[in-house]
Structure 1
């Protein structure tokens, strides 16, 4: 590009210089020719007058052309002009040009006619019929003493000789012009190179900027304006680099924010096609981003309800909000918000689709509702019993000592159960809200199991059951020992409650590089397979009658689940109906 500019400047210079040289050459040539002719003609006139003055006056008076010829021959030796002597009747009396053998009458020659008419000198220019060359003629009259015209003296000279100097000057001028042109071309090339090179560097920087490469800078040296242009382009490059860095940072932050949002985000263009989608939206729709980009939202969402409010947003050009149910790829309840935004082009309408998965929230709301219902039901039973027995006693039954003691024992049992139920509800509430402080210490898991055995020993002995701790390697864990004992006691008590008389409870501890594994195994009644997923729900009982008779509240396994989660662990259950149940607790080692 710059080489083309350089050659263009050079071509323009050559053209201008050539035109200027041509104009100057034509003008100077014409001027020099006129000047040369004028000078030569004046000189020729002076020469003619000089020769005339050399002719002896006596010869003119006597018309002695022979002697005049002799004088003219002597003059011819020292004069290069052609000399012609013509009588008044046009006869050529003398001709210095020896090549002319036959000379016609010159009476009709313009310069002769002018002199014969009385002019002191006459000048003419014409092509000679004899020599076939263009000559310049000067004629002067020759008069005798009495002033009578006796003949005409004419000098002539070829125009070529007269303009020879002009040709030499033209040649010199041409050589000068060529030399100046060569020098001008060299200087132009050097100058344009000095101009073009900085411009090339500026263009290189500008090209890099247009292609989002901001590292290049102008470092060249140029003329004032170009240097200023380089400084401006460097300032522009620095400014653009800073702006693009800031934009890139903002884009990265926005992308990071969008990609880490738990809310699904999808951008639709004016043609209702997907332009952007975050991972949360992928999870809700069950489709990969690469499969959805550029497709219609109808293909992407596969939900009539969502498609309906998106289309409504396009029609009304107003934000839309609704709760939508998804049935594919799995059941979801989402809070859908449709926000219209204007596009880059005037009149273009884009749409942001925000989907917040509220499935778990709705489940929690249902769990809370069920919890309130179940808690009310569980509390109503002992409260109703206490109220009924109290009314019976107040109505006179307390007078009967036997009935009074029996009723008081029942009331004590129910109040104890009510106290246990309230305590379990409060405990579960604290665990859910993580309000239970943990005292971290080094725990010997085997000792904690043996301590739990001692707590339930009375219940086990009552049912003639065997408690076994499998002999394994001593395992240590960092955590709250009271919470670990609560986990173990609940699981062992639960096993005792659902295992018949003479049963066996076996606890095994193993460890891996990352976690301790505790298994509580019984040979009791077992749990039906279809109920295994529900046993950690609050107030859920496999055998409701047995649970109540054993004093259970239905919250034990829910409390165990939350306690295990406080240890960052997991709990699993496997069971076969009639053969027994195994609870497996995995607790990671903590630093």
Structure 2
């Protein structure tokens, strides 16, 4: 902006100086002509007066020497050279030089003009007698009869004539210099006043270009500059609001992408990773955020996924497929590859979307197995009921002993069928969390002892001992009925799968903010390779014993979902032939 300031100032000064020079030139010529004209008129007027004076004195027959003395005095007073020339050109009198020494003046231009009948004659030249450039005016001298008796010539040095002109020129030059200085100073102040708000506007726009959107113009401009400042402020405010909105949208988008369960990866035209979210790292099994700027091949170890990514680049169309990952662990993902246009023409970016459907496929298999297992479990009692009913209808009912035997079997199978149906309905309810929980203060030991009362008869029939050990007195907020249902299933299973004269121990203690309940038996135990499956529906370790005990194979599945509904966890630890321990952890308060 200093350059603009100097440019405006220098332009104005140059224009003003040029204008002053042109104006001075024309004024100089005008004053020069005017000065010469005024001096000529003055000399002519003085010559006429002096001619009239001489004519009158000559008419009165005055003494010629006295007249010449008076003329000489006038010459001194007027500071002018007076010369009297005869009609023959001879000089009769000269106020500055001896007339006898002067040559004939008949051919002087001013004298010649008068002798030729002009009213006056003028001339300008360097005088041969004085050596000074003089300005001459000549008029005729008339005798009483009106005839020309001679020529009166007045002369004045040109320097004297032009002295006023020079003084005016000097004054004009001084005026121009002063005017230039004053105008330059005023221009400097004015341009500074104009440039300063422009500089502030430029500073604000520079701040805006550097993304400092809180910059504002606060200068005291005038006219259009003030409007420009207001416009810049409106622009800055608009940009700040837009950037704030963009930042908020970016933050929302960032949070959304980072909290998606779908893995997101953005690839540029060179197949390099530009963006990745945590879900993608979890699915791929490594921290892909460390590979930003690297090729996607370094992050993706699946040939199938790499193949459809390259196909999306080639065909420029979205691709979809289920991909099996074998490293670092077995997974099934639903892969969607979406090509999008880049910033530059012809540039292609690709978004890789991965959704881990391993659990979905596992649950689908569980449901399929559940339907198959449920059908199988239901078929056994239904087939038994159908077979015994057909046998009775075929005549076996006539035999009282066989009838009673068959009816007992049919009752047992119907009870089993009812248990299976009830357990399936209960499992469905607890899985879908359709049963509301009633929170109340429950002492865990009281719930265990209450459960012991329900199974004590079965335990006594096998001469088993039921023991409760309370290491820490625990009172928690939970649903008492659901807790009893969990304890009943676990304690009943412990009694079923423990030999006679065995023992079932329930230990209660605190672990941080959790109440821990351990149900331990010294029964047959569970093989280590089957411990991960015991919570599956209809899964039995000892199928024959489970059926003989009236079990449906759904008890532990129900227990697992009940514990999860109570916001707890359940785990199992077992050694084959040494017994099994189920550990339930429940929070002290039901959330």
TM-score, normalized by length of structure 2?
0.89
Q: CA 1:408–1:99 in structure 2 vs 1: closer, same or farther (change >3 Å)?
A: farther
Aligned partner of 1:425 in structure 2 is: 424
Q: Secondary structure at the match of 2:251?
A: helix
* 1:228-243 matched pairs, under 5 angstroms: 228-243=227-242
Deviations 1:470-526 (A, max 9, x none): 143331121221211111111112222222222221110001341100011122222
Work out whether 1:541 is the aligned partner of 2:548.
Answer: no
Q: CA deviation at 1:184?
A: 2.8
Q: CA deviation at 1:364?
A: 0.6
Q: Secondary structure at the match of 1:510?
A: strand
Could you tell me whether the CA contact under 8 Å between 1:59 and 1:67 is conserved in 2? no
Q: CA deviation at 1:429?
A: 1.4
* 1:181-330 matched pairs, under 5 angstroms: 181-288=180-287, 290-330=289-329
Could you tell me whether the CA contact under 8 Å between 1:57 and 1:144 is conserved in 2? no
Q: CA deviation at 1:452?
A: 1.6
Could you tell me whether the CA contact under 8 Å between 2:276 and 2:289 is conserved in 1? no
* 1:471-550 matched pairs, under 5 angstroms: 471-550=470-549
Work out whether 1:437 is the aligned partner of 2:399.
Answer: no
Q: CA deviation at 1:141?
A: 4.1
* 1:55-66 matched pairs, under 5 angstroms: 55=54
Higher mean Cα deviation, 486-495 or 199-208?
A: 199-208
* 1:440-479 matched pairs, under 5 angstroms: 440-479=439-478
Q: CA 1:444–1:78 in structure 2 vs 1: closer, same or farther (change >3 Å)?
A: closer
Aligned partner of 1:44 in structure 2 is: 43
Higher mean Cα deviation, 312-321 or 442-451?
A: 312-321
Q: Distance in 1 between matches of 2:434 and 2:65?
A: 158
Q: CA 1:186–1:406 in structure 2 vs 1: closer, same or farther (change >3 Å)?
A: same
Could you tell me whether the CA contact under 8 Å between 2:55 and 2:144 is conserved in 1? no
Could you tell me whether the CA contact under 8 Å between 1:65 and 1:93 is conserved in 2? no
Q: Secondary structure at the match of 1:553?
A: coil
The unaligned stretches of length 5 or more in structure 1 are none
Higher mean Cα deviation, 392-401 or 412-421?
A: 392-401
Q: How many residues align structurally?
A: 589
Q: CA deviation at 1:450?
A: 1.1
Could you tell me whether the CA contact under 8 Å between 2:84 and 2:152 is conserved in 1? yes
Higher mean Cα deviation, 460-469 or 321-330?
A: 321-330
Q: Distance in 1 between matches of 2:262 and 2:98?
A: 120
Work out whether 1:360 is the aligned partner of 2:375.
Answer: no
Q: CA 1:106–1:421 in structure 2 vs 1: closer, same or farther (change >3 Å)?
A: same
Aligned partner of 1:26 in structure 2 is: 25
Could you tell me whether the CA contact under 8 Å between 2:281 and 2:288 is conserved in 1? yes
The unaligned stretches of length 5 or more in structure 2 are none
Q: CA deviation at 1:464?
A: 1.9
Q: Distance in 2 between matches of 1:116 and 1:288?
A: 124
Q: Distance in 1 between matches of 2:223 and 2:128?
A: 69
Q: Secondary structure at the match of 2:412?
A: helix
Q: Distance in 2 between matches of 1:104 and 1:521?
A: 162
Q: CA deviation at 1:334?
A: 2.1
Q: CA 1:588–1:48 in structure 2 vs 1: closer, same or farther (change >3 Å)?
A: same
Aligned partner of 2:169 in structure 1 is: 170
Q: Distance in 1 between matches of 2:130 and 2:509?
A: 139
Q: Distance in 1 between matches of 2:102 and 2:316?
A: 114
Q: Distance in 1 between matches of 2:326 and 2:107?
A: 128
Q: Distance in 1 between matches of 2:238 and 2:149?
A: 101
Q: Secondary structure at the match of 2:165?
A: helix
Q: Secondary structure at the match of 1:456?
A: helix
Q: Distance in 1 between matches of 2:458 and 2:130?
A: 160
Q: Distance in 2 between matches of 1:91 and 1:433?
A: 150
Q: Secondary structure at the match of 1:502?
A: coil
Q: CA deviation at 1:33?
A: 0.8
Q: CA deviation at 1:105?
A: 5.4
Aligned partner of 2:123 in structure 1 is: 124
Work out whether 1:569 is the aligned partner of 2:562.
Answer: no
Could you tell me whether the CA contact under 8 Å between 2:277 and 2:289 is conserved in 1? no
Q: CA 1:250–1:461 in structure 2 vs 1: closer, same or farther (change >3 Å)?
A: same
